[in-house]
Amino acid sequence: MQKWELLPYHKLGEYKYESLGRDYELKEIRPPDKKHMQQLLEIANLVLKHTGKICVMDTTTVG
């Protein structure tokens, strides 16, 4: 693996739990904003720097 992809948490699966009548235990968790994701990306790349690998982020999936 030469690169890692940083993916933000999202709530797209929440409706599945509701349709199954199950409690969605992560309902209080909010998706991260772009600034927070950028900070995480920078940290990840600092950690990976010595490995020759990189971390990337698809900015279209970040709220």
Sequential pLDDT tens for the chain (63 residues): 688 898 888 888 899 999 999 999 998 999 899 999 999 999 999 999 999 899 998 776 666
What pLDDT score does 38 carry?
93
Going 12 to 61 to 34 to 58, the CA torsion angle's sign is positive
What per-residue confidence (pLDDT) applies to 48?
Answer: 92
Q: In the structure encoding, which two tokens stand for residue 29, read together?
A: 């968790």
Indicate the pTM of the whole model: 0.70
Distance, CA of 5 to CA of 46 (rounded, Å):
14
Is the distance from CB of 62 to CB of 33 less than 8 angstroms? yes
